[in-house]
Amino acid sequence: MAKTKTTFFCQSCGYESAKWLGKCPSCSAWNTFVEEVITKDEGPKTEWRQESTRSKAMRAKTLNEIESTEEIRIHSIDEELNRVLGGGIVPGSLVLIGGEPGIGKSTLMLQVGLLLKKQRVLYVSGEESEQQIKMRAERLGNTSENFYILTETNTKSIFLAIETVEPHVLIIDSIQTLHSAQLDSTAGSIGQVRQCTGELMKFAKETATPVFLIGHITKDGMLAGPKVLEHMVDTVLQFEGDRHLAYRILRTTKNRFGSTSEIGIYEMLGTGLREVSNPSEILISQKDGPISGVTIGATIEGNRPLLIEIQSLVSPASYGTPQRTPTGFDQKRLNMLLAVLEKRCGFRMGTQDVFLNMAGGIKVEDPAIDLAVCISIISSMEEISISDKICFAAEVGLGGELRAVNKIDQRISEAEKLGFQEIYISKYSQKAIGLKNTKIAIKSFGKLTEVFEDLFG
């Protein structure tokens, strides 16, 4: 006889309560509790199970008793995906990929699955039919004899297909469409998402099969489902970009097997996603001539150096309170830099509207572009253009001093490779420079005012 239990879940964070609450004690959201009926069946379970691996009793081991093995990864043809995963796909890992509708999540995973020609790949879709996936694969212009497609949402049927195919890689599109018979709630609810992810995690760990989960996001840009979902998986990837632009960024927000600061850049074409091996070329726009308010900053994303174009527009404020509108840059940091320019350098920024844009639609958090931002703002304010052969890499302190930044050698090498003639850095970064016989001129200063004197006279 089945035992029925009714509980309430917060649809925002997954908090569980025995009764309905107006306000969630965990995330403080209002009117988010939904009643779900949980049925605990005494019969055989439908989730993945491997009795042979658990037949013998497990015992605790000391650290010295555990043998260290060489890390084995599955290298896909997609080098951008290999980079964000930390060097390749880890066997037994659970990877969650989130992004806005229509951004290209399904196209990315279908393309990756088709490129893994030496591994059997099972693509489980709960949103599209087999014919629709076939049409998309033909548009990508790629095929594979080891690529299997299953259109199913019941986890019991999915695990039966897994036992038949025995895939090396499993792709689920999407986790919100799956339904487990262990719960009576509808697909996409908090309980179903957590239960289905738990069954897939057990399968991945016991068989050393990497599993990719495609997830939806909410209107706030957060991954849909309970927050515990992000804690359960090994890696969380965010696929982002403007649907009106061609470029997409695959960003790592959590990775148990690598760095969380790596990014992969793709270009959306009619034939699929193209890897962008040299992102600096797309982040620097082509111009007919010099324009005021445009500078180039050297930033680092993970281990990859990037040169990005900073665009500023400064104009007299039409209203009492001047506007500060950054795109791809932190609002509070922009206010701080404007205060430094007014207090330490004597520029009257309190009566000016300031608009700042990171070209290419990328969001930058590296403080090393502070100097490029300051030069860009003053260049627009004074209507003086900066040469497109000059780039900047230094952090600006509250006292107007230039602070050293990390990996300065890589920034200089990237600027030299792209044909820049001069780079302005902090004089405190000189001891970290190990380059010799560089063709690019390295100019080092200690204060922001010294850079202004050198550039503007």
Structure tokens at 296: 């180039």
- Separation CA 234–CA 106 (nearest Å): 20
Query: Annotation-wise, does 104 bind a ligand?
Result: yes
Query: Annotation-wise, does 3 bind a ligand?
Result: no
Query: Annotation-wise, does 101 bind a ligand?
Result: yes
Query: Annotation-wise, does 99 bind a ligand?
Result: yes
- Separation CA 427–CA 442 (nearest Å): 10
Q: What SS3 state is found at 455?
A: helix
Query: Annotation-wise, does 106 bind a ligand?
Result: yes
Query: Annotation-wise, does 365 bind a ligand?
Result: no
Q: Which residue has the tokens 């309430």?
A: 8
Residue type, 74: I
Please spell the DSSP secondary structure of 337-369, one letter per residue.
HHHHHHHTT----TTEEEEEEEGGG-----GGG
- Separation CA 355–CA 329 (nearest Å): 11
- Separation CA 179–CA 185 (nearest Å): 9
Neighbours of 414 (CB within 10 A): 22
Nearest-CA neighbor of 416 among 310, 309, 305, 311? 305
**Angle in degrees, 0-180, between the axes of helices 370-382 and 448-456, rounded to the nearest 10:** 40
User: CA quadruple 281, 284, 285, 291: dihedral positive or negative?
Assistant: negative
Query: Annotation-wise, does 265 bind a ligand?
Result: no
Across-strand partners of 77? none
Nearest-CA neighbor of 368 among 442, 438, 305? 305
Q: For residue 357, report the phi and psi dihedrals to the nearest 5 degrees.
A: -140, 135
Please spell the DSSP secondary structure of 312-341, one letter per residue.
EEEEE-SSSSPPEEEESS-HHHHHHHHHHH
Query: Annotation-wise, does 103 bind a ligand?
Result: yes
Which DSSP letter does residue 186 get?
P
- Separation CA 264–CA 285 (nearest Å): 19
Q: Peptide bond before 174: cis, by omega within 30 degrees of 0?
A: yes
Nearest-CA neighbor of 90 among 210, 170, 207? 210
Give the burial class of 4: count Cβ atoms within 10 A of its Cβ; 0-12 exposed, 13-18 middle, 19 or more buried: exposed
Binding site membership for ATP: which residues?
A: 99-106
Binding residues, by number, are 99-106
